[in-house]
Amino acid sequence: MTVAFWVNVGLVVLALSLLLCFVRLYLGPNPPNRTVAFDTIAIHAVGIIALIAMASNAPALLDAAVVTAVLGFVGTMMFARYMENSDLKDWEPDEE
């Protein structure tokens, strides 16, 4: 039960969690739901990069985590601004 074992366990758990986020990205009936899924996928990418940096003993990979966090924020803000100023009013409602 070394640290490397638990890092691999964490990678498996995050892979399952990322799969659930992609389920929402596929199912989400309208663009706001897909934007929520995209934001969570970007956050998952930061966590997975941190775990891979620990698994492969490469601390330089953590710079990629910084860039991914900033790009995820910019992408989410871009989608939010686009949705707010768009004229697409005939989106499907949430299913329940």
Partner 1 sequence: MTPRDIVIVVFILAGCVFMLVSAIGIVRLPDVFARMHAAGKASTVGVSGLLLAAGLYFYDEFLMLRMLALIALIFATAPIATTAMARAAYRTGPRKRKHLHYDEMAGDGQAPQTHAGERVNDPVG
Tokens 């490397």 correspond to 4
Does 88 engage in binding with partner 1 (CB under 8 A)?
Answer: yes
Does 71 engage in binding with partner 1 (CB under 8 A)?
Answer: no
Does 33 engage in binding with partner 1 (CB under 8 A)?
Answer: yes
Shortest spacing between CB 74 and partner 1, in angstroms: 9
- Let me know if 14 is exposed, middle or buried by CB neighbors in 10 A (0-12, 13-18, 19+): middle
- H-helix or E-strand spanning residue 24: helix 3-27
Binding to partner 1 by CB under 8 A, coded x per residue (else -) over 37-56, reads x-xx--xx-xx--xx-xx--
